[in-house]
A = this chain, B = another copy of it.
Amino acid sequence: MTETTEKKDLVQEDVQAENEKTTEETAVEEQVELTIEEQYEARIAELQAKLEDEENRHLRLRADFDNMRRRSQLDREAAEKYRAQKLLSDLLPVLDNFERALQVEATSEEATSIVKGIEMVYRSLVEATEKEGLQVIKAEGEAFDPNFHQAVMQEQDSEKEAGVILRELQKGYILKDRVLRPTMVSVNE
């Protein structure tokens, strides 16, 4: 505001002074007048450039903002989808051991009853993991697929097609669409 007032005073003085000037002097005065105009124009051009810069800066920040929002949304979804991965991975050997322990052939009534009780616990453990998206990979009788199966040996069964999985040696698991552990298999030659 101070700058503006100063400029106005300058102009008024110029105009008053002009009345006593010759044509030649007036031509010089025109120069000064134009310089002030030019100063205004320069000031306006400067402000317009700043405004444009500022608008571009805003657009860039807005784009960054939208990108970050989108990215953090995707991150959140992925984190949510595979949230139980660590614990489920740690539970795979527990499931293995559980299955091994339950393979005993109980002979006495007491042992049979204990195994039955424990089998129910095993079922409830499997159900809890299934609710979080854990699934056993199909293997026996399926065509060998390196994305899901790991061939640890080959066997020969002339009645079955080549490349078919003959035996499952260790269960494999997927969490939703992600392989946590491939099935260890024997494949038909």
Contact = CB atoms under 8 A, between A and B. Distances in A.
Given A61-B62, A97-B121, A90 B131 contact: yes
A101 B75 contact: no
A65 B76 contact: no
A79 B34 CA distance: 66
Given A8-B34, A19-B23, A110-B108, A128 B87 contact: yes
Contacts of A108: 108, 110-111
Interface stretch (A49-57, A151-159, A162-170, A180-188): A49-57
A72 to B, nearest CB: 4
Given A18-B18, A33-B15, A88 B87 contact: yes
A113 to B, nearest CB: 8
